[in-house]
Structure 1
Amino acid sequence: MADYVLFEEATGYALFKVRIQPEEVGAKLKEVQQGANDLALFGKMVELVSFSPFKGAAHALENANDISEGIVNDHLKALLELNLPKGGKKSKVTLGISDKNLGQSIKDALDGGVECVSTEVVQDLIRGIRTHGAKLLSQLKEGDIEAAQLGLGHAYSRGKVKFSVNKNDNHIIQAIALLDQLDKDINTFSMRVREWYGWHFPELLKIVTDPNTFARLVLEIQDKNSLVDNDDKKDAIARIVNDDQAIVDQIVESARRSMGQDISETDMEHVTMFAQRVANITEYRTKLFAYLTERMHNVAPNLSELIGEVVGARLISHAGSLTNLSKYPASTLQILGAEKALFRALKTKGNTPKYGLIYHSSFIGRAGMKNKGRISRFLANKCSIASRLDNYAEKPSTVFGEILKRQVEERLAFYESGVPPTKNSEAMKEAFAKLGDLAEDLVDEMDVDDDSEDEVKEEKKDKKDKKDKKEKKEKKEKKEKKEKKDKKRSKEDDDESPKKKKKKSKD
């Protein structure tokens, strides 16, 4: 049970003392829940110790961000140090908090003198404080809490949804979803146009297979009989089929000998309207793909260079964001998109899938049947590295993506011909060399990290040496004690032996 309760309010921090005794917690649980709705009962359960208001809206937002990240700032630390009694090793002060992630930070900030809990009783107490906050915090005027909550809520939410214009992955998620939907729609609509117009000009179906080209030809030809001795339409058809005169001649000749039925003007009007819609959607799909390619090169250049814009965008969309994708281990990224197959395999105790969305990359398609699983693991590993570089690098570039792609190509060649690929360390050195000045900054950061790692290793080594010395000393002491005991026993045996001899001689 908590001795004190910390309440984070939009206007400041409040510290309450709990009057319920620890041994009465089980019996008082229902009473606490009922008292949370009754001020008269709840006022007997808690007592305000201190209230530390924020200096302003900016200060409140700063503290809200720190609390959400589990950070104890100076303002909160000062409040707790001034008002909480100092606990010892045996008797620690217990503090009730709403977010258990903040507990360890408070414990570290106060040198372990406080034990933080977030039990059901504590949550009910905090709920009661929130309900009766305007009455319990007498320093505040009526309406202050509501106004502060509204302002802080807007500011906090605004800060959460802020983004870099050049590194916003939300548009990528929407664009790839729309692209997939457009592909389905274009396929469905083009099939309808082909079937509808095929009654009038069935020979055109075999000559032209591309849906966009077919829709544009329908708009240009309309009535097949108008193609005879019409040079303007022939020139227009030639532009649509990229000046392929053989196809133009084939279309004109097929129109002359066509077995299709005649069509009325009203029917042709609706066919051309629908064909115009298909042509517009197809044209927009081309523009959308160009936009997606550009956004992917801005947001995730290394991932785009490695696995392609479309597959990379699908990975980001399936993960929810580039940040989420960068947090996934390579093993999760490998089967991303094959969750149903994975759970079915786990349920039936069968073979788990080797790949998910990354199957659509060109690398796995080029690998042999025996090497598909191996190359998918290797590719997932490189994709994981590329996504982390794109997400956390301040100035992402395609340098690492090009190197990672070359490594995958070399690994494919290794599986086929046995030529050993370039070592990863050498590949990374080459990437740093290409980056130039940016690489120097990264190397400096890595050196700092290496120094800190060396310090940690030295500390561990010192601790291990001390432990070994202590163990050796204990073993030596035990050995000496044992030797002393053995000597003492042997001496006692020597003293007893002449006495036994004398006794025997008397007998």
Structure 2
Amino acid sequence: MQEVILTELGIVALDGKRRAAAFPFADAAAEYMAVRRGEADVSGIAEHASSLDSGVAVNDAALLEALRARSVEARAMDEEGVGRVQSEKLAILVEAGFASDERDAEARLRDFAMGLSSARVGEASQSDDAHIMQAIRAMDEADRALNGHNSRLREWYGLHFPELENVIDGIAAYARVARIGARGDITREALGGAGLDPTVAEMVATVAPKSRGGDISGPSLAVVRELAGHILGLASHRRALEEHVTAEMERVAPNTAAILGALIGARVISRAGGLKRLSSMPASSIQVLGAEKALFRSLKTGALPPKHGLLFQHPLVHASPR
């Protein structure tokens, strides 16, 4: 029985230790990956194997399935055979004609390894879930920046208009008022032009003239207004990121988005390291994604392990009775 061997440089059929047929790869990394994915044209080796009476033994599962799909009598090579192929790889490459000698074979394998690494990096960077991961991370970073800038704006502008803190909760709404400027400039017309809700605008306009906050200098007020404008721009950018993540999740991972929601689903994919890795994770690992520090702390100290991580953000989880 001949052996059909997938190597990094091509496919070879060996009769004993002698070459019976060889099919070199023109683009080693790309064609090797295509065979492993079951997408390669294996008609040449299939035609050769079909002409044999005793069938063939194959060292690669994907190649085996491709040959069987073409009605070739083939079986998987045993572990001993696979180990022998690995140990004799250089000699096999030379016998197949893929290299002139063993030194040349080593050089070609190094080139293959570099090409394969580059191809995999390129493939990973083109995957849709990689872009979702970057987008949700950018959105979460925007949230952290917004919260930090909002706290600073409230403390700073609060020196001039402290009562506003108790009237407005929203980050963007507070920034719109601060963007107007000094208390004396906060009128119903100015608030309406800033896009505030009429009811809230009426409350702010009523409170502003009675404020007991201190005066603020022109230069300080200019910086405060600039900070408020930066917050509004960042909030707009954050909304655009959320819309993008939602649209991409519905396109790339609709089932995950339907179950977890687009944003939580994207965070779970990001924490898992990709959609493919998430799909192969056991439920127990998915349950504690985002709570790794607490999990390791429990292993180290003997404390109770975390029950949930990112999934706790889902309303059905955090609103459920304990």
Matched letter for residue 182 of structure 1: A
In the superposition, the TM-score normalised over structure 2's length comes to: 0.72
Alpha carbons of 1:158 and 1:53: their partners in 2 closer, same or farther (altered >3 Å)?
farther
Give the corresponding residue for 1:324. 277
Which structure has greater helix proportion?
1
| Partner AA of 1:238 in structure 2 | G
Structure 2 counterparts to residues 370-409 of structure 1, below 5 A: none
SS in 2 for 1:259: coil
Counterparts of 2:76 and 2:116, CA distance in 1: 33
CA distance in 2, matches of 1:279, 1:353: 37
Partners of 1:194 and 1:157 in 2: CA distance: 48
What letter corresponds to residue 89 of structure 2 in structure 1? I
Change (3 A) 1:81 1:298: closer
CA RMSD of aligned residues (A): 4.7
- Check whether the contact 2:36–2:63 (CA below 8 A) recurs between aligned residues: no
**Structure 2 match to 1:243:** 198
Q: How is 1:107-126 mapped onto 2 (pairs within 5 angstroms)? A: 110-111=74-75, 116-119=80-83, 123=86, 125-126=88-89
In structure 2, C-alpha distance between the alignment counterparts of 1:109 and 1:332, rounded to whole Å: 41
What secondary structure is seen at the aligned counterpart in 1 of 2:7?
A: strand
Provide the residue aligned with 1:203 in structure 2.
163
Instruction: State the alpha-carbon separation in 2 of the partners of residues 5 and 58 from structure 1.
Output: 20
Aligned to 1:171: 131
Q: Deviations over 1:320-373 (max 9, x none)?
A: 22333233343333333333434444555664433222111111233221xxxx
Give the 3 Å change call, closer, same or farther, for CA 368–9 of structure 1 in structure 2.
Answer: closer
Q: Deviations over 1:39-85 (max 9, x none)?
A: xxxxxxxxx6356134x7589955642246699955446667989xx
Instruction: Provide closer, same or farther for how the CA distance between residues 109 and 340 of structure 1 changes in structure 2, counting only shifts above 3 A.
Output: farther
Aligned partner (choices 229, 235, 239) of residue 286 of structure 1: 239
Counterpart contact for 2:64–2:75, Cα < 8 Å: no
* Kept in 1: contact 2:4–2:12 (CA 8 A): no
Q: Percent identity?
A: 28
Unaligned runs of 5+ in 2: none
Q: Give the superposition deviation at 1:237.
A: 0.5
Structure 2: distance between partners of 1:353 and 1:13? 52
| 1:181 maps to 2:146 | no
Give the Cα separation in 1 of the matches to 2:298 and 2:310. Answer: 18
Structure exhibiting the larger radius of gyration computed from Cα positions: 1
Work out which of the residue numbers 328, 342, 355 in structure 1 matches 2:308: 355
Q: CA deviation at 1:217?
A: 0.8
Contact 1:319–1:325, Cα closer than 8 Å, also in 2: yes
Contact conserved, 1:175 with 1:288, CA < 8 A, in 2? Answer: yes
1:235-277 alpha-carbon deviations (Å, 9 max, x no partner) = 1213532111xx4454344433333332222222222111111
Q: Which residue of 2 aligns with 1:224?
A: 183
Change (3 A) 1:224 1:102: closer
Say if 1:125 and 1:276 are closer, same or farther in 2 by CA, change over 3 A.
Answer: same
d(CA) in 1 for partners of 2:117 and 2:12? 19
Distance 1:270 1:126 in 2: 69
> What CA deviation, in whole Å up to 9, does each residue of 1:375-415 have, x standing for no partner?
xxxxxxxxxxxxxxxxxxxxxxxxxxxxxxxxxxxxxxxxx
Q: In 1, Cα distance between the equivalents of 2:119 and 2:6?
A: 18
Higher RCO structure (Cα 8 Å, ≥6 apart): 2
Residues 155 and 204 of structure 1, relative CA distance in 2, 3 Å threshold: closer
